[in-house]
Chains A and B, each alone.
Chain A
């Protein structure tokens, strides 16, 4: 059995759907973080069968909207003094700003840097968001 030590300060992203760990790692740009980070893949799980886990040392703030967008089933555990002091079930975000582009080529957000892509959720099952500027629907894909 492989052993990975627990962290005393930082964040643990638990219950990542198997296969999404690497995507989260890449989307959060964790390789560039400058802090110790562990990505565990295909870990046995009672609930999920298999899951991925990410442990980030010494970081307490993380983009919950982005995590929820990639994988709403994730639990974020905030660790202080070796203990879990907070747990968040992220869920799919209702509002998303600047995380992906509007799929409408005629939308002003695709040509003007002042217009940051800004969406609200219209269909959680399909991860469809309506643009605040042009109202067209964009389906979020990794």
Chain B
């Protein structure tokens, strides 16, 4: 296993053992406590290249590096970077390689972080590329399931909402299949089902899957319920968004038939797909999931930089 120096563009870039190593390291960091790592990345610089707005991902990366004693440079808006002058992604990646030790990129164009990694000489992390991949959210989700549910082989994981444009879902579904999850239930309106190429890939891998349009009908079998936002920014047509946005709203009534130890996850931000009344339910762990995101990114960067 050699995560040191490696880029993470899609979860498939890491072997199963490497993914497990990140999760295990992050979980150990959570056990030890945040204050124990303040000198781990002293002298290291993280570059945050966010060509698309982000709150949680960007702040969690920055917090992760700062918590480990490193520094952060970068931008959170393409209009304030040299991209506004027309600089190519490849040139930016080459230049940043001289300024920083590690970089994270979010870009609205799918495949942009992969292109950057091809020209960079430092480890690059995909912080989300369009509707394509979001591998550090996958690490976050794996850590959350590891800490709050345990072995994947025992879990029925249901995904509900936008399975077409939801990049968090694509990354996670593919990875859960690789890691041997018991079963996945894919719940979405017909217009927002999983992309065909991904569905075919999962079928070929032998993953156990069930496709549904109704949450209430299957919730009693579910161990992990993963809710997603219907993403307005991915629609070409506002009318389609308005028609589909309220399809699934999780509320206390829908949860009546669920297992008492089921966990409810959400990559956040939510709009209205989880009613506020659900926040007080002990099964709702989406804010703890955000905490896991900090540790997952700390562990990932520490391993990529070879400081742990």
Establish whether residues A114 and B88, one from each chain, have CB atoms under 8 Å apart when the complex forms.
yes
Measured in the bound complex, the distance between the Cα atoms of B132 and A131 in whole Å is 12
Tell me the residues in window 94-136 of chain B with beta carbons closer than 8 Å to chain A beta carbons: 107-112, 114-115, 119, 129-132
Establish whether residues A134 and B115, one from each chain, have CB atoms under 8 Å apart when the complex forms.
no
Interface membership of B196, Cβ < 8 A = yes
Q: Do A108 and B115 contact each other (CB < 8 Å), given the known contacts A113-B88, A114-B88, A134-B132?
A: yes
Interface membership of B195, Cβ < 8 A = yes
Tell me the residues in window 103-136 of chain A with beta carbons closer than 8 Å to chain B beta carbons: 104, 106-109, 111-115, 122, 130-136
Q: Is the interface on chain B under 10, 10 to 19, 20 to 34, or 35 or more residues? A: 20 to 34
Number of A-B contacts (CB under 8 A): 60
Q: Which residues of B contact A135 (CB under 8 A)?
A: 110, 132, 197-198
Closest to A118 in B: B111
A89 to chain B, nearest CB (A): 27
Measured in the bound complex, the distance between the Cα atoms of B202 and A77 in whole Å is 41
Q: Which residues of B contact A134 (CB under 8 A)?
A: 110-111, 129-130, 132
Of the listed residues B88, B129, B132, the one surrounded by the most CB atoms of chain A closer than 10 A to its CB is: B132
Q: Do A106 and B115 contact each other (CB < 8 Å), given the known contacts A112-B89, A114-B89, A134-B130?
A: no
Q: Which residues of B contact A133 (CB under 8 A)?
A: 110-111, 114-115
Q: Which residues of A contact B218 (CB under 8 A)?
A: none
Which of B108, B111, B195, B200 sits near A115, CB closer than 8 Å?
B111
Q: Which residues of B contact A109 (CB under 8 A)?
A: 111
Tell me the residues in window 140-178 of chain B with beta carbons closer than 8 Å to chain A beta carbons: none
Q: How many residues of A contact B (CB 8 A)?
A: 19
Measured in the bound complex, the distance between the Cα atoms of B109 and A108 in whole Å is 5
Establish whether residues A108 and B195, one from each chain, have CB atoms under 8 Å apart when the complex forms.
no
Q: Which residues of B contact A111 (CB under 8 A)?
A: 109
Closest to B107 in A: A108
Establish whether residues B109 and A106, one from each chain, have CB atoms under 8 Å apart when the complex forms.
yes
Proximity bits, B179-216, A CB within 8 Å = 1, else 0? 00000000000000001111010000000000000000
Q: Do A137 and B109 contact each other (CB < 8 Å), given the known contacts A106-B130, A108-B115, A114-B88?
A: no
**Interface SS of chain A: helix, strand, loop or mixed?**
loop
Q: Which residues of B contact A107 (CB under 8 A)?
A: 109-111
Establish whether residues B89 and A108, one from each chain, have CB atoms under 8 Å apart when the complex forms.
yes
Measured in the bound complex, the distance between the Cα atoms of B197 and A132 in whole Å is 13
Interface membership of B278, Cβ < 8 A = no
Q: Do A108 and B197 contact each other (CB < 8 Å), given the known contacts A113-B88, A114-B90, A114-B119?
A: no
Establish whether residues A137 and B196, one from each chain, have CB atoms under 8 Å apart when the complex forms.
yes
Q: Do A112 and B109 contact each other (CB < 8 Å), given the known contacts A106-B131, A133-B115, A135-B132?
A: yes
A113 to chain B, nearest CB (A): 7
B304 to chain A, nearest CB (A): 22
Q: Which residues of B contact A104 (CB under 8 A)?
A: 110
Measured in the bound complex, the distance between the Cα atoms of B114 and A104 in whole Å is 16
A121 to chain B, nearest CB (A): 12
Establish whether residues B115 and A112, one from each chain, have CB atoms under 8 Å apart when the complex forms.
yes
Closest to A105 in B: B236
Measured in the bound complex, the distance between the Cα atoms of B108 and A133 in whole Å is 13
Closest to A135 in B: B197
Tell me the residues in window 55-92 of chain A with beta carbons closer than 8 Å to chain B beta carbons: none
Measured in the bound complex, the distance between the Cα atoms of B200 and A109 in whole Å is 23
Subset of 11 A-B contacts with CB under 8 Å: A106-B131, A107-B111, A108-B114, A109-B111, A112-B89, A112-B109, A122-B197, A133-B114, A134-B111, A134-B129, A134-B130
Q: 4 closest A-B pairs (Cβ-Cβ)?
A: A133-B111, A134-B110, A108-B111, A114-B90
Q: A109-B111, A111-B109, A114-B119 are in contact. List 19 more A-B contacts (CB 8 A).
A: A106-B110, A107-B111, A108-B89, A108-B109, A108-B114, A108-B115, A112-B112, A114-B90, A114-B115, A115-B111, A115-B115, A122-B197, A134-B111, A134-B130, A134-B132, A135-B132, A135-B197, A136-B195, A136-B197
